[in-house]
Amino acid sequence: MELHSDETIWYFFKKGESHGFSLLFKKYYPQLHVYGLKLSNSPEITEDCLQNFFIQLFESREKLGHINSLKAYLFVSFKRRLIKQLQKNQNNIPISEAQLIKTNFTFSSEEISINQEIQFLCTSTLASLINQLSPRQKEVIYLKYYSGMNSSDIAEVMDMNYQSVLNTLQKALSKLRKLSENQQIKSILKKN
């Protein structure tokens, strides 16, 4: 299992492990907070609702079953809770999801700029990791993912047999995973 994959986080969270809850909270609170602000347009309601959501989630964790996507589950559950809270604050007048999104959901140029900066950081990090691969591994990655070639074509271009291409690709991807995990661990240690 990946170090901080959603499956790992969910597993430890459901077992009641404090670091499972901490990872879940740190990973999804900011995203859900921004989403809630876009839906409600109210920092107070969003923060109260989100804190209550995480408390209720923690208290009922043993009853929660298997989920396919942690992120989707959290967003859907929080959205439902927030809509109920908004209706309650408006004397139980029903609020449709479409009405809520139509009136409150906007983007600022700052948000788009931040998203572009994050994408740039991810891209530069990936480039740095790829540059740590051997020349053959870099070439295989380039031909596969940047040129869109299949393994047979790569074998022909690199003058290798088909199985060697698959092995080189697998080794490259494994090394990228390992390098990525090491970088995540280093960044966590720097923060503490």
Domains and CATH numbers, the chain: 1-105 (1.10.1740), 107-192 (1.10.10.10)
- For 50-80, what is each residue's pLDDT tens digit? 999 999 999 988 888 888 889 999 998 998 8
Q: What pLDDT is recorded for position 53?
A: 94
* pLDDT tens by residue, 31-52: 899 888 888 888 899 999 999 9
- In angstroms, rounded to a whole number, what is the distance separating the alpha carbons of residues 160 and 140? 11
pLDDT tens digits along 92-139: 555 555 555 545 566 667 767 777 777 777 788 888 888 888 888 988
CA R_g for the chain: 22
